[in-house]
Each structure stands twice: as structure tokens, then as C-alpha cells.
């Protein structure tokens, strides 16, 4: 998720100071993505460096307000109108963990899947409880929060379905058929031995 563009989009509504930006971000996301104030100010410094925001007035409490520049407004428009690019490869820890575990000798991948399924189902139940305990999405804050929670619910449901699918696929193979031994051919690159350096 782009904190940078999200903060810019909030600033496009009007000047804000750091803590105010954090509160506005929380209001719009239902506090599902906690940001610390240091992250806000680091992002503001980078946005200023890039010419997308600039410092504005200072109030009587010493809060420094930031306002968006024309270039920042253009970046917000571009961000909102462009689709979110999904990476080609996966950096999903669970997918990598299961792929590696399935190729290691003596690893009970089914037990790993079952442990993860229990955790994923517990998370899904917690998300559903949170969603149904909240008020109906009548106001803009409630609607924004429910959109984020719905996304998390769909992701958790997809993870459970994927775990079921993975377990079924692995059940089709005898355990020894999936084991990968270390390759005998060594990669061409690598760190030379210390003796060779001297």
C-alpha cells in the first residue's frame, strides 16, 4: 500500500500537520494500517524533497502545516486513475514457506497447512465479528472502514481456499516424490575462497 500517495490524497483536501495526517489516515482506513508519526514525517520530508508538498503556516501550538503543490495534485490524480500493479512473482511468506517445505525431506506439510488453516480461520472469524459488531456503513468513516475490512475478509477467505487446494494437490503425491535433493551442479558465481584472494 502506498502511504505516500494516501497522505498526498488527504493533503489534496487541505493543509494538515503530521499528527492530523495520521488521524485522517486512521479515519479513512479504520486504523487497519497503523502508521507511526515518525513514518508520517519521513514521508512528508521525501514528498517535500520531490516537490509534491511544501511547508505552510505554523499555528499557535507550533504545528507545522503541509500543503500539496500542483505537482502533488497531479500525482494524486495519476494514482487514483491508475490500476494497482500486482507484482509478477510472489513475496507471500506463506506461499514460499509451503513451496520450500513441500520439497524438504521429512517435513509434514499437511501439519503446516492445518496449523495455518486454523490461524486463518480464526483471523476470518475475528474480522467477521469486527465487521458485524460495527455500525452499518451509513457515514463516510464507517464506509471506508468496512471497505478495508471487506478486503481483509476476502483475502482471508481466499487464503483458506488456497490452503484447501494446496492440501489436495499435495495429497496426490507420495511424500518422497516431492523431495528435492541439493543440486550437484554448483552455481558459477559465488564468493571465492580466502586462499584465492591472497
Say whether both 37 and 101 belong to one domain.
no
86 falls within a domain: no
pTM tops 0.85? no
Q: Does 133 lie in the same domain as 71?
A: no
For 1, 3, 51, 142, the CA distances from 11, given in Å and listed in that order, are 17, 12, 14, 21
Give the range of the structural domain holding residue 33, as residue numbers without chain letter.
3-81
C-alpha cell at 48: 517535500
Interval 90-99: pLDDT, tens: 677 888 888 8
In this predicted model, which residue has the larger pLDDT, 56 or 171? 56
With beta carbons less than 8 A apart as the criterion, state whether 178 and 102 touch: yes
Helix/strand/coil for 181: coil
Q: Rounded CA gap, 194 and 106, in Å?
A: 35
- The pLDDT value given to residue 136: 64
Whether 196 is in a domain gets the answer no
Q: Is residue 20 part of a domain?
A: yes
Which stretches of 35-168 are assigned E, i.e. beta strand?
Answer: 53-58, 64-68
Report d(CA 76, CA 112) in Å as an integer. Answer: 42
Q: What is the pLDDT of residue 196?
A: 57
pLDDT digits (tens, 9 = 90+) for 129-176: 888 776 566 788 888 888 888 999 999 999 999 999 999 998 887 665
CATH of the domain at 55: 1.10.10.10
Amino acid at each position: 500500500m502506498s502511504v505516500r500517495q494516501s497522505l498526498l490524497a488527504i493533503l489534496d483536501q487541505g493543509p494538515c500537520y503530521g499528527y492530523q495526517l495520521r488521524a485522517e489516515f486512521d479515519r479513512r482506513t479504520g486504523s487497519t494500517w497503523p502508521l507511526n508519526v515518525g513514518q508520517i514525517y519521513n514521508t512528508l520530508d521525501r514528498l517535500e524533497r520531490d516537490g509534491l508538498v511544501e511547508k505552510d503556516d505554523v499555528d499557535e501550538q507550533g504545528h507545522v502545516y503541509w500543503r500539496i503543490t500542483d505537482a502533488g495534485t497531479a500525482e494524486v490524480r495519476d494514482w487514483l486513475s491508475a490500476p494497482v500493479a500486482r507484482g509478477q512473482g510472489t513475496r507471500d511468506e506463506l506461499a514460499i514457506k509451503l513451496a520450500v517445505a513441500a520439497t524438504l525431506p521429512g517435513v509434514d506439510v499437511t501439519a503446516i497447512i492445518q496449523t495455518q488453516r486454523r490461524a486463518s480461520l480464526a483471523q476470518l472469524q475475528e474480522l467477521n465479528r469486527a465487521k458485524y459488531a460495527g455500525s452499518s456503513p451509513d457515514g463516510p468513516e464507517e464506509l471506508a472502514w468496512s471497505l478495508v475490512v471487506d478486503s481483509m475478509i476476502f483475502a482471508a477467505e481466499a487464503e483458506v481456499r488456497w490452503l484447501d487446494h494446496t492440501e489436495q494437490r499435495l495429497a496426490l503425491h507420495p511424500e518422497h516424490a516431492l523431495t528435492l535433493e541439493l543440486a550437484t551442479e554448483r552455481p558459477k558465481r559465488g564468493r571465492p575462497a580466502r586462499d584465492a584472494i591472497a
